[in-house]
Amino acid sequence: MTSIGTGYDLANSIFSPDGRNFQVEYAVKAVENGGTSIGIRCKDGVVLAVEKIVTSKLLKPGANKRIATVDRHLGVVYSGMIPDGRHFIDRARDEARSWRDTFKTPISTADLASRMGGYMQAYTLYQSVRPFGITAIVGGFDSTEEAPVDGEVGSGPACGAGGKVAGKTHGGPFLYMIEPSGLYWGYYGAATGKGRQAAKAELEKLDLGGPGGPTLTLEQAVKEAARIIYVAHDDSKDKEFELEMTWISGADGPTKGCIGRERLSVGEKALDEDEDEEEGKEEKMEE
């Protein structure tokens, strides 16, 4: 990589002769050095988890959360440069808020991913900016119920609205990953950061994308996500880390359609007591 830039890597708005934007590729390098984040889309929800590398013993355990709430039903986790991630989240919250102000209903996960993808792409176009040094995983649960207008009063007929198209379902769990180029796809399971290869290998073993939809339940996915973060940490065993994770279900599940309602943050010491920790989580899910 050292010699291939040859001047074409000095600015964002310049392509190399073979059609590459080196600044974007360098941004990907920044992501590859960050702690692993993963997302799992399962049958009845989405799980986000991150390997939060603890850089100093002087930092309070459990403080400085890395998974952020964007709206009631939306969460974001990212790998890479943390200040860039913070700005990404600020923007995501603004997008979610402005959608609410205009349409008086929550933004869908797909619409948020689209807007944030567009936002990140814009940072690959101009001389004056550099791309985001993060890859973000956006997880959300779009309501499967009928969506009212925020603040509406009154109700329709007690027998329910007539003329609905039968057999169609709406909403559900969604997972997107947005890269520094602005590229985004919807995923069954997503991983980014240092341990992404190991994490992806583990994710591929799970039943996430079968023809009838995933069979993995939220409860299983929470355990798998925790396990995968530990597997992915294997490469950098010398560093201490905290496992931080959150999960979201539909309105009828444990989180009642709200992200961040249940979350978990365990320190490195839990590493050796894997079994105990698993049980602790189960209890948490049942509350």
Partner 1 sequence: MDRLKKGEVNMAVTFKDGVILGADSRTTTGAYIANRVTDKLTQVHDTIWCCRSGSAADTQAVADIVKYQLELFAMMNGKPPTTQTAGAIFQEICYSNKDRLSAGLIIAGWDERHGGQVYSIPLGGSLHKQPYSIGGSGSTYIYGYCDANWREGMEEAEAVSFVKEALKEAIKWDGSSGGVIRMVVLTAKGADRHLYLPDTDYKVRHQ
Partner 2 sequence: MDHRPQAWGRPRDDVYGAYDASYLQSGGPKTATQSPIVTGTSVIAIKFKDGVVMAADNLASYGSLARFTDVKRLRPFLSTSVVGFGGDVSDMQFLTRHLNELAIDEAYEHESSPTSSSEDDPNAPPAGQLNAANLHKYLSKLMYRRRNDFDPLWNQILVAGFDSASAPFLASVDLRGTTFTSPSLATGFGAMLAQPIMRRYAATEADAARLTREEAVKVVKECMKVLFYRDARSLDRYSIAVVTKDGVELSEDEQLERQSWAFAERIKGYGTQTV
CA distance 51 to 148: 37
Q: Which listed option, partner 2, partner 1, none, makes contact with residue 237 (CB within 5 to 8 Å by class)?
A: none
91 binds partner 2 (CB under 8 A): no
Piece in contact with partner 1 (CB under 8 A), picked from 18-26, 102-110, 196-204, 257-265 = 102-110
97 binds partner 1 (CB under 8 A): no
154 binds partner 2 (CB under 8 A): yes
155 binds partner 2 (CB under 8 A): yes
Among 157, 212, 238, 287, binds partner 1 (CB under 8 A): 157
Q: Which listed option, partner 1, partner 2, none, makes contact with residue 84 (CB within 5 to 8 Å by class)?
A: none
Which runs of consecutive H residues, i.e. helices, occur in 183-286? 196-205, 218-233, 274-286
Q: Are 15 and 23 in contact (CB under 8 A)?
A: no
What is the distance between the terminal CA atoms of the chain, rounded to a whole angstrom? 51
What is the phi-psi region of residue 6: left when phi exceeds 0, alpha when psi lies from -120 to 50, beta otherwise? left
Of 230, 236, 226, which Cα lies nearest the Cα of 40?
226
Q: How many residues bind partner 1 (CB under 8 A)?
A: 27
- When the beta carbons of 27 and 96 are compared against partner 1, the nearer one is 96
Residue 184 in tokens: 């985004």
What minimum distance in Å lies between the beta carbon of 167 and partner 1?
Answer: 10
CA distance 282 to 287: 9
What minimum distance in Å lies between the beta carbon of 140 and partner 2?
Answer: 14
Q: Which listed option, partner 2, partner 1, none, makes contact with residue 1 (CB within 5 to 8 Å by class)?
A: none
